[in-house]
Amino acid sequence: MSLPLVVFLDLLCIAVGLNVFAWFHHVRDAYFPRETAEVDPVVLITPSPAPTPVPESTPTPVPEDDEPERVYSGVWGEKFADRFTDGEVIRTENSYRSANVSVTLTHVEREGLSYHVADIYISDLKYLRSAFGEKGYGSRSMAADIASANDAVIAISGDYYSARREGIVVRNGLLYRDTRFEDVCVLLGDGRMLTLSDRETDLEALTQAAPWQVWSFGPRLLENGKAMTKFNSAVVRKNPRSAIGYVEPGHYYFVQVDGRGAYGSHGMTMTELAELFESLGCETAYNLDGGQTAGMCWDGELISFPYGRSVSDIIYITDSPENGEG
């Protein structure tokens, strides 16, 4: 076989391979979305009820400094009292504060890197929620559309659970799927966030613990607050990223990293992402779906690079939990 013919056949094989890749990763997702699955979720946990209003006839104690006493609805309201307001909503270009939610957004840019960090405090777990695509479980929509429909103050892309049949799916206290898939991230009803390897995950015990959220993607990034150096993932090179971090109950971080040349950013390696969460003071942190799915929305608008891929779910903070699903 002549050399030119060998080269031609090699190029032909490469072209066919690239077209097959493009079909499965772009064309099929864009024009042939999977059908919405019929799933009957199991109720695991119900968020704490709304506070009982104080009757108008009840006098409000006035401290010696003559400032009205703050009244908070959530379990972490007093602990993080300096983060919340007396009831008014204060918005700026990069922050949001109310009686129940506090978010401070930072955009970091340096040579070869662009990423967003959201420092989040909530007075009650019901303000940290997740949401599916427009048609519910199994459907996909653009992240900004899901965020806007659910009154999200800040949102990041989730674990893209619909891309596989494995992985535990718990959303807002409802269990949709209970099959294993590598590392999992568990947000318990008391606000603690745990990351577990597959061998550490006891499905029966996890169900009995009645978690508020369970995400299945990974890998986990920290161990006892320290950046890990070995990860349960083959995708550890620089990439666009989405991730969630936990400091203590009521205090969390969202991180989104642009990459692949977007905005001049080449992304973060898994080690760099882990080191970032360690520097933020997080106890645990968990990598979510990245690549062309990575995205962050602020006040219902996409602020990260618009890769253009729809997502099956988002994780978000809202000041109107009654408008969320679940």
Domain ranges of the chain: 1-32, 37-323
Evaluate whether 174 touches 209 at the Cβ level (below 8 Å).
no
- Lowest model confidence (mean pLDDT) among 20-24, 139-143, 236-240, 242-246: 20-24
pLDDT mean over 177-200: 93
pLDDT in tens, 289-300: 999 999 999 999
Question: Scanning the structure block, which residue is given the tokens 């969460």?
Answer: 277
Q: Is the C-alpha dihedral spanning 224, 289, 232, 34 positive or negative? A: positive
Q: Where are the alpha helices (DSSP H) in the chain?
A: 3-22, 28-31, 143-149, 203-208, 270-279
Mean pLDDT of the chain: 85
**Which two three-digit tokens encode residue 228?**
């890990």
pLDDT in tens, 263-290: 999 999 999 999 999 999 999 999 999 9
Q: What is the pLDDT of residue 169?
A: 96
pLDDT in tens, 44-98: 876 554 443 333 333 334 344 444 444 455 789 999 999 999 999 999 999 999 9
Residues of the chain above pLDDT 70, percent: 78
Q: What is the pLDDT of residue 323?
A: 56
Q: What is the pLDDT of residue 225?
A: 97
Say if pTM beats, i.e. exceeds, 0.85: no
pLDDT mean over 229-241: 94
Look at residue 38 and tell me whether its pLDDT is greater than 70.
Answer: no
Q: What's CA 204's distance to the chain center, in Å?
A: 25
R_g over Cα of the chain: 22
Sort 232 into a burial class: Cβ within 10 Å, 0-12 / 13-18 / 19+.
middle
